């Protein structure tokens, strides 16, 4: 019976949306960043859709409300992932630079 239950679970399919460069890529205005994040989260809530947002720590620090925006994602039950500190292309980094970006992020 347990094998049947595990097989049934394995056959279920799930989709999760991913959002790159949170809190908001290229936006420096805190009010605009908040409006965009609330719009995204409201849409996800309305459709009961899971998502994961990948965070650039430098952007969080540059926005006055960066931490608040990430807290909204968590309050809405969405996941967050580390996109390293500055989202530098990792192919061009040494192992030490890559490690520093992860630890700083």
Strands (E), 29-105: 51-55, 79-82
Which class would CATH give 19-104? alpha beta
The angle subtended at Cα 41 by Cα 35 and Cα 45, nearest 5°, is 140
- Percent of the chain residues topping a pLDDT of 90: 47
The angle subtended at Cα 35 by Cα 19 and Cα 49, nearest 5°, is 40
pTM of the model: 0.73
pLDDT, one tens digit per residue, over 34-85 is: 999 999 999 999 999 999 999 988 889 899 999 999 999 999 999 998 876 6
Domain ranges of the chain: 19-104
């Amino acid at each position: 019976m347990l094998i049947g239950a595990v097989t049934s679970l394995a056959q279920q399919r799930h989709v999760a949306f991913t959002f790159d460069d949170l809190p908001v890529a290229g936006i420096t205005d805190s009010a605009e960043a908040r409006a965009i994040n609330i719009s995204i989260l409201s849409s996800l809530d309305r459709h009961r859709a899971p998502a994961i947002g990948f965070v650039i720590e430098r952007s969080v620090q540059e926005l006055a409300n960066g931490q608040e925006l990430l807290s909204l994602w968590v309050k809405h039950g969405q996941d967050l992932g580390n996109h390293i500190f500055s989202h530098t292309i990792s192919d061009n980094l040494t192992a030490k630079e890559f490690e520093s970006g992860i630890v700083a992020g």
